[in-house]
Amino acid sequence: MYPEYFSVRMRAAEGKAHELGGKHISGGERLCDHSQLGAIATELLAKASNHTRGSADFIQLVVEKVPSEQLQFIPPLDVSAIEVATVQEGHDKAKDQLAAAGVSERAIEHAFFILNHERNLRGAAIVNCETGERLDDREQKGVRVSRMDWNDGGQVEDSVRVREALALATKVAHSPYTVAELCWSDDPDYVTGYVSSQQLGYVRISPLKKMGCESGGRVFFVHNDVDIDSYMNFLERKPVFIQGGDSE
């Protein structure tokens, strides 16, 4: 018998629900067994409240059983960090890393355009690594990577934010369709971002944006031959535990 696992998802918006035009405040994704449901729901509600992007007045919490016979266990990406003096230098470093991973200049420029101009992207944009074309049709909703968590009994020594981002980046990088990911936060007070891939690992770059700026999000660069439906299905539905390693 497999143990039962549940996906717990939270999204929060200000003004009204996202789909009615509300401002995206926060989202969160966890995977847990039944005994942890209450604690995790409480953590996600706390994450939605007192947020630097604003005051949430729409919070949705969804709990769903996941088919645990499909659970996959994968090791976290290796973590490294680059400190730079200016945002421009951070962008240059990120672009170098993406180019090294095989992303074209055109695709890199489109991704930077998206993250510089998008103040309300909830999920990720999927971009063709050669042509730079955006392949998902989700607009501001984007593609929300879901059903992943750490399988370490919740021993949180590191920043919760870094753990969540590393778990997400590890799941994304695990797909053979992923060439690389670029992310910086949409939170105005958080300026560290990252570039990641199976080969590069999780490369934290700081700063990647100016303090006070609310535009950000994620771009997943994918191979030209991507099967977009199966890629999105993997990201949104495949349950994955990150196991072992150290997130720092």
Residue 208 DSSP one-character state: S
CA 225 to chain centre: 23
Per CB under 5 A, does 246 bind Mg ion?
A: yes
CA distance 108 to 99: 8
Strand order in 23-33's β-sheet? 23-33, 5-14, 58-66
Interface residues for Mg ion in 142-171 (CB under 5 A)? Answer: 157-158
- What residues have CB less than 8 Å from 136, skipping those under 6 apart? 125, 126, 142, 143, 228, 232
157 binds, options ligand PML, Mg ion, none, Cβ within 5 to 8 A by partner type: Mg ion
Per CB under 5 A, does 248 bind Mg ion?
A: yes
Interface residues for Mg ion in 164-203 (CB under 5 A)? Answer: 186-187
Residues at the contact surface with ligand PML, assessed by CB under 6 A: 161-162, 165, 183, 185, 187, 190, 192-194, 204
Q: Which is nearer to ligand PML, 180 or 226 (CB)?
A: 180
Per CB under 5 A, does 64 bind Mg ion?
A: no
Range list of β-strands (E), 15-70:
23-33, 58-66
Q: Nearest distance from residue 203's CB to ligand PML, in Å?
A: 9
Q: Nearest distance from residue 123's CB to ligand PML, in Å?
A: 12
Binding interface with Mg ion (CB under 5 A): 157-158, 186-187, 246-248
